[in-house]
Amino acid sequence: MTIKIPDATREFLNDAGELSRFAGRFFYEGLRPRYEVREFVRQCYVVGYKSLPLVGLTAFIMGLVLTMQLQPTMVYYGVESQIPAMVGISIVREIGPILTALIFAGKIGSSIGAELGSMKVTEQIDAMEVSGTNPFKYLVVTRAFATMLMLPVLVVIADAISLYGSFLGVNIYEKTSLLLFFRKVFENLEYIDVVPAVIKTFFFGFAVGIIGCYKGYYSSKGTEGVGHSANSAVVVSSVVIFILDLIAVQITDILT
């Protein structure tokens, strides 16, 4: 007796299995010499440094808007002075990492998916194999490592920019010094707020990189497949980021 599995489910499970195998191969290839350091550094520059303007702008606006939206309610309850504490905890624990990861997935996930997809379609990956270069090591390992290491850096910088935006937001309604604002932020932060929030961004970055690479690496159906790879890389990365965030929050709760 055979069980009839719906096509969509079969495709989903197949994708999940392939992605797991792809991730396993990443660790296998990544930890073995030879290391593509030069390409890794280049990818770090592309996925990290070049994402900074977009991430920074988004974070700044988010900090500013969050403060402006909170201000009337906090004034209503007479706890206006707690805005730095509240915004600080919100940004550092959740908004900073998740927003940066989503922006990062939109920009870098689609970029990696489209780039590798077009290379696959134009058979450049096959050509690399023929020429003796390990395309997985050169294309996938470097990108996935770069995303995994650059996203935490981006998140820390984005948090700082976002808090500065919040500081400007507070100064729209009342005058406060930068030192006092950040002192209030840090008075209400704990290690348990900062460290897990940064650690989970390594997983977010890894998810964005590995999914983008997977979708591009196994792209098909010509130019249409390239677009599909880019699109699905962003969608799947975003969903996985939320799932990972949920798990991270649960683990953090257990630890505290």
Partner 1 sequence: MKDHNINTIKLGVFVIAGLVLFIATLYALGKNRNLFGTQFELRTRFRDVNGLLVGNNVRFSGIDVGSVRSVTILNDTTIEVVMNVDRKMKKFIRTNAQATLGTDGLIGNRVVNLAPMSGNAPFVQGGELLPSREEINTQQMLETLSRTNESVAVIADELLGTVQRINSSAQLTRLLSDESLSDNLKASLVNLNRATANAALLMDNANETLRLASQGSGPLATLLTDTTLSAELHRTVRQLQAVEANAQQLALDLDQVVRTVETDYRQGPGPVNALMRDSLMTLRLEKTLENVENGTAAFNENMEALKHNFLFRGYFKKMEKRKKKEMK
Q: How far is the CB of 189 from partner 1 (least distance, A)?
A: 6
CA separation for the pair 243, 256 (Å, rounded): 20
By C-beta, is 129 or 174 nearer to partner 1?
A: 174
By C-beta, is 140 or 156 nearer to partner 1?
A: 156
CA separation for the pair 11, 58 (Å, rounded): 35
Q: How far is the CB of 78 from partner 1 (least distance, A)?
A: 9
How many other CB atoms sit within 10 Å of the CB of residue 14? 10
Give, in degrees to the nearest 5, the angle at Cα 204 between 151 and 50: 25
| Contact assessment for residue 57 and residue 158, using Cβ atoms and an 8 Å cutoff | no
By C-beta, is 71 or 229 nearer to partner 1?
A: 71
CA separation for the pair 32, 170 (Å, rounded): 51
By C-beta, is 144 or 197 nearer to partner 1?
A: 197
User: Is the backbone peptide bond immediately before 38 cis, with ω within 30 degrees of 0?
Assistant: no
Q: Which residues contact partner 1 by CB under 8 A?
A: 41-42, 44-45, 48-49, 52, 79, 82, 152-154, 156-157, 159-160, 182, 186-187, 189-191, 194-195, 198
By C-beta, is 92 or 240 nearer to partner 1?
A: 92
CA separation for the pair 83, 68 (Å, rounded): 10
Structural tokens at position 207? 């998810």
By C-beta, is 36 or 159 nearer to partner 1?
A: 159
Q: How far is the CB of 49 from partner 1 (least distance, A)?
A: 5
Q: How far is the CB of 151 from partner 1 (least distance, A)?
A: 10
Q: How far is the CB of 58 from partner 1 (least distance, A)?
A: 16
User: What does 144-187 look like in DSSP terms, one character per residue?
Assistant: HHHHHHHHHHHHHHHHHHHHHHHHHHHHHHS---HHHHHHHHHH
Q: How far is the CB of 232 from partner 1 (least distance, A)?
A: 29
